[in-house]
């Protein structure tokens, strides 16, 4: 009987010790509840004790966490519809406030953070054009909104250090997509027309240069031809003169034959001359 009582006491003592000890790891923060109310908070890493059955301990991760939010539709300053989804990076700055506001549930914290962040970002998106939103400095946009976001998140015991846009899309049911495509087509058409005009201008320049070079080449060729023709005629005249000087009678005969050939080339020519005309001297029988 005594041994069973001793065993029961030992078991009760062990259970009591186990129920009174809890551990907070590195990167975590502890919270002790006394009958459901916050008794102690901001408990750092290490081995800690609590009153069994009366007190309970909760441990939360104090490292940076990334909370993803579903896409949110907003209007730009041009009244164009865009869909923005983002990730908020933050950590627990006051574990007591975090527990009181969310009951220690991180999903509840995300749900309560969502309208604060979305409302702040929506105001900023509404003041910017689509071009500024897509290609502008997003870090400047976030830094401008963080103070207001953290002011609203103070009651949740969390602090947001950064917000990253995952994607900025045009909703598929929005008329903006058609407008963007129309503008892209207009821009491409404008570029094509400009390139076509520049090409036509270059073509005109090239044709003008080719025509000028052709004129110059033809003029130079004609000049050279005239020069060669003149040199040939001079050379022929010189040769004829030498031949005539060597044998005048043969030269006269050759010239007469050429004259006859030219006069009677078509076979129908009629030449009326006197009988003793020198033109016929080589056609008489007495020669």
pLDDT digits (tens, 9 = 90+) for 109-152: 888 888 888 888 888 777 777 777 777 677 777 888 888 888 88
Dist. CA 94–CA 92, nearest whole Å = 6
Dist. CA 99–CA 53, nearest whole Å = 20
On the question of pLDDT at 5 being above 70, the answer is no
Cα separation values, 163 from 139, 141, 155, Å: 9, 10, 19
What values do phi and psi take at 65, rounded to 5? -125, 150
pLDDT score, position 1:
53
Span of 33-47, 133-147, 267-281 with lowest mean pLDDT: 267-281
- Provide the H-helix boundaries in the chain: 2-20, 95-102, 106-126, 130-135, 138-153, 176-246, 248-263
pLDDT score, position 139:
77
Query: Mean pLDDT for the chain?
Result: 78
Nearest to 116 by CA among 89, 82, 150, 91: 150
On the question of pLDDT at 261 being above 80, the answer is no
258 vs 33, more confident: 33
pLDDT score, position 177:
57
On the question of pLDDT at 223 being above 70, the answer is yes
Max mean pLDDT range (105-119, 165-179, 202-216): 202-216
Are residues 158 and 90 in contact, defined by beta-carbon separation less than 8 angstroms?
Answer: yes
**Neighbouring-strand partners of residue 49:** 21
Q: Where are the domains of the chain?
A: 2-61, 65-172, 179-246, 249-287
CA torsion 281→283→284→285, rounded to 10°?
140
On the question of pLDDT at 40 being above 70, the answer is yes
Residue listed under structure tokens 């503008």: 183
CATH architecture for the domain at 65-172: 2-Layer Sandwich (3.30)
Are residues 31 and 57 in contact, defined by beta-carbon separation less than 8 angstroms?
Answer: yes
């Amino acid at each position: 009987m005594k041994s069973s009582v001793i065993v029961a006491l030992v078991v009760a003592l062990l259970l009591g010790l186990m129920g009174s000890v809890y551990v907070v790891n590195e990167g975590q923060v502890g919270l002790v509840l006394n009958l459901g109310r916050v008794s102690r908070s901001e408990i750092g890493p290490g081995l800690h004790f609590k009153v069994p059955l009366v007190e309970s301990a909760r441990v939360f991760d104090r490292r940076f966490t990334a909370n993803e939010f579903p896409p949110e539709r907003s209007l730009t300053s041009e009244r164009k519809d865009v869909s923005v989804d983002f990730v908020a990076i933050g950590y627990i700055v006051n574990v007591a406030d975090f527990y009181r506001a969310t009951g220690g549930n991180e999903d509840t914290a995300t749900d309560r953070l969502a309208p604060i962040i979305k409302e702040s970002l929506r105001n900023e998106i509404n003041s910017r054009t689509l071009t500024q939103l897509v290609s502008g400095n997003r870090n400047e946009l976030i830094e401008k909104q963080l103070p207001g976001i953290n002011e609203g998140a103070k009651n949740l015991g969390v602090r947001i250090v950064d917000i990253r846009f995952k994607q900025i899309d045009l909703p598929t049911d929005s008329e903006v997509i058609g407008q963007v495509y129309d503008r892209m087509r207009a821009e491409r058409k404008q570029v094509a027309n400009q390139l076509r005009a520049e090409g036509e201008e270059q073509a005109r320049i090239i044709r003008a240069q080719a025509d000028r070079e052709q004129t110059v080449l033809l003029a130079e060729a004609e000049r050279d031809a005239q020069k060669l023709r003149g040199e040939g005629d001079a050379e022929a005249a010189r040769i004829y003169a030498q031949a005539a000087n060597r044998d005048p009678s043969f030269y006269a005969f050759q010239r007469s034959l050429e004259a006859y050939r030219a006069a009677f080339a078509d076979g129908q020519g009629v030449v009326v001359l006197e009988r003793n005309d020198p033109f016929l001297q080589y056609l008489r029988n007495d020669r």
